Amino acid sequence: MPERRAAHPGLYPARGEHPPLLGQCCARCGHVAFPPNPYGCESCGAEADSLESRALAGAGELAAFATVHLHAGKGIEAPFTVGLIVLDDGPAVRATLTCRTDAGLAIGDRVQSVLVPQGADDAGNETVELRFEPLPRAASAGDA
């Protein structure tokens, strides 16, 4: 039976409507980090055995973004948009957004994680990549 696989299995699961990011928390100082660091806490310097795995909610706020119009790589076709997302659980991450251009985006927009199919191998196993999709903006009271 074909499987669904994460393109980067150590960073997120290949299931769920809005999958978490697989981060870590320092038991000594409480620092939350993504991606996981195998060497120790980047904040207080605690040894690696002080780090605990933690699922970080795949939701946050867009802090910056840019559209890439020319890209020589084979994994993604330009244009595509990359964002800096401050996760609700703490750390900031850079990730590809689901929107191809930045039209309509604004700093402070809410975003959530989604899995985007990237293709399948000869056995039918599907590879998925974690991206972030902008959420619709709530209507303000003055819009009524």
- pTM of the shown model: 0.88
Q: What is the pLDDT of residues 109-122, one digit of tens each?
A: 999 999 999 988 88
Task: Give a yes or no: residue 106 inside a domain.
Answer: yes
- Give the chain's domain count: 1
Identify whether 144 is part of a domain: no
- Phi and psi torsions of 141, nearest 5°: -60, -30
* Residue 142: strand, helix, or coil: helix
Task: Please state whether beta strands 51-56 and 32-33 pair in parallel, antiparallel, or not at all (unpaired).
Answer: unpaired
Residue 78 maps to a domain: yes
Q: Give the rounded distance of the alpha carbon of 135 from its chain centre.
A: 14
Q: Residues near 75 by Cβ (< 8 Å), separated by ≥ 6? A: 118
Range of the domain at 106: 57-135
Q: What is the mean pLDDT of the chain?
A: 92
CA distance 141 to 134: 21
User: Does 32 map to a domain?
Assistant: no
Task: Say if CB 134 and CB 96 are below 8 A apart.
Answer: no
Q: What is the pLDDT of residues 49-78, one digit of tens each?
A: 999 999 999 999 999 999 999 988 877 889
Q: CATH no. for residue 74?
A: 2.40.50
